[in-house]
Amino acid sequence: MKLYIDYSTLTLWRLCPQKFIFNSKLNIQGGATDALNFGTLIHLGTELFGVASQNPSFELPTKEAAYQEIEALAVAKQVPDVRLVTNPLLKVLNQVAEEASQYALSNLDSDEKRSLKHALTLIAEYTFHYHPDALPYRGFEHKFEIFLGKTAAGHEVFYRGTIDGLLVDGVLERKTSYDLTAFLGLLTPNYQAVGYVWAAREITGNNKISKVIFDGISTKGFGKSKGSAYSNQDRWTIYNAPETLFLRAQTVVTDSQIEDWKTQTIKDADRLLEDWKAEKVTRNAPSACNAYNTNCAYKAICMSGSKSVEQTLINGMPKQKDIWDGFEVVED
Ligand code: SF4
């Protein structure tokens, strides 16, 4: 058997094997929330900006021009014609608005937390904050699939992922997070960082690579909550102190961390495959059900208390349409 695995799927399985089965085997939609889509837009915008800014002729517009474009895009509520835009940053904002038109959040009022306007404002402020970026980039959004090793049971394991920024001497990984202080606490040790440094070494052939820069982008403290009547624009961080929403933290991955990570990942691969084939798997309730301050999207199924109700709920839940291809099992 061949197992193609990525960091997200491993993390999901480690959190709760049942959640992994619902998500990656039964393919049940795990809740495409506004918060998730908001994060996707920020990721897309910062990536497009990174690529565009490598062009020597890249020039930022004035802040005034950027904010005028954001207002226009937020009000228009229609798919923009990206071809008509020439300034690189304004083009990025239009591309993000184009992507957002598929998401429910594009219909949110512009003063709500996860609105298109706030996504575009955060992206624009990020570009003004980090341009010109002195980091030595080799590329952006570098997709990889690399043979990791064979498990004790004889399965071949391939590790997949996308490195946000491949640097000459390391990797850059972007994270959107509500709270940048909490985000700092998650960085050392960090399995994702170790796996990406290993991948960067394999991709480049440079075994000296060890640096990881976590590019933290905070969504804290701006906009009103969905449905809330109250908003006070003067107090929104994005308008009064945008620089506090960005933080880059550096960490270093050692050779022994990489060896431990490889051993653990290959060992987990066998256990994950056993769960994949099993009729019944572990449910890590209640500890996993509210992980990361979010209610698990499958809670109603797990709480139903009867096999038949459970099956009815499973049948009634929407299937995922846009499936990330990080995980795959191929029978020999
Ligand atoms: S509700 Fe809890 S037990 Fe059920 S899948 Fe989600 S995390 Fe696992």
pLDDT value of position 324: 63
* Cα 289 to middle of ligand 1, angstroms: 5
Q: Which residue has the higher pLDDT, 17 or 182?
A: 17
Report CA-CA distances (Å) from 163 to 40, 145, 146, 168: 15, 11, 13, 13
pLDDT value of position 189: 74
Average predicted confidence (pLDDT) for the chain: 91
**What integer is the mean pLDDT of 44-61?**
92
* Placement of tokens 């960085």 in the chain: 187
pLDDT value of position 325: 78
In sequence order, the 6+-apart residues with CB closer than 8 A to the CB of 206 are 200
Among 13, 15, 302, say which to mutate for ligand 1: greatest number of ligand atoms within 8 Å of CB. Answer: 302
Distance of CA 332 to the CA centre of its chain: 32
Among 13, 29, 283, say which to mutate for ligand 1: greatest number of ligand atoms within 8 Å of CB. Answer: 283
Q: Is 305 left (phi over 0), alpha (psi -120 to 50) or beta?
A: left
Query: 114 with 37: CB under 8 angstroms?
Result: yes
Task: Please state, as a whole number, how many other Cβ atoms lie within 10 Å of the Cβ of residue 310.
Answer: 16
For residue 323, what pLDDT band results from cuts at 50, 70 and 90? low
* Cα 246 to middle of ligand 1, angstroms: 33
Residue with the nearest Cα to atom 4 of ligand 1?
302
Q: Which atom of ligand 1 is nearest to the CA of 18?
A: 5
Q: Which atom of ligand 1 is nearest to the CA of 16?
A: 8
* Cα 260 to middle of ligand 1, angstroms: 28
* Cα 318 to middle of ligand 1, angstroms: 17
Report CA-CA distances (Å) from 122 to 32, 97, 117: 21, 13, 9
Query: 91 with 85: CB under 8 angstroms?
Result: yes
**What integer is the mean pLDDT of 245-259?**
95
* Binding-site residues, ligand 1, Cβ < 6 A: 16, 18-19, 22, 283-285, 288-289, 296, 298-299, 302
For residue 235, what pLDDT band results from cuts at 50, 70 and 90? confident
